[in-house]
Amino acid sequence: MWGLASSSLLELSILGLDRYAPHTKNKNSDRKGAKLNQALELQAYKETKMLSINEVAERLGISKNKVREFINSGELPSLKYSDRITKVRLIDLELFNTKNRNNNRFDYKL
């Protein structure tokens, strides 16, 4: 997967997380650095992973039309590439799911 580049090390330093960077010698810190690296990779994946309306409907267990209603109402952010292609970022779907579960409006499972 991706390794931490020097710019990422600078970002970790700014955030006060530089002790988790992989250049440390402590085995415990190395494990924490690996976990942090995995978390950063997972976050980057969620921000870039795009789902079609069909995939969103399948994950939420609802109809494609209901997904389109959420998109048209602005409740579910999406990117419209053309008249026929609309995509939803995975992270936006997770936020939508969390918000609606907290409001007891839905109980969807991702």
Domain ranges across the chain: 6-48, 50-102
pLDDT averaged over every residue in the chain? 75
Q: Which residues, 6 or more positions from 30, have their beta carbon under 8 angstroms from its beta carbon?
A: 22, 24
What percentage of the chain exceeds 70 in pLDDT?
Answer: 65
Q: Give me the mean pLDDT over the 62-71 stretch.
A: 94
Q: Is the Cβ–Cβ distance between 59 and 20 less than 8 Å?
A: no
- Across the strands, what pairs with 89? 50
pLDDT in tens, 91-100: 899 889 888 7
Q: Which residues, 6 or more positions from 7, have their beta carbon under 8 angstroms from its beta carbon?
A: none
Bigger pLDDT: 39 or 84? 84
Domain 50-102 has CATH 1.10.1660: yes
pLDDT value at 23 more than 60? no
Per-residue pLDDT at 105: 58
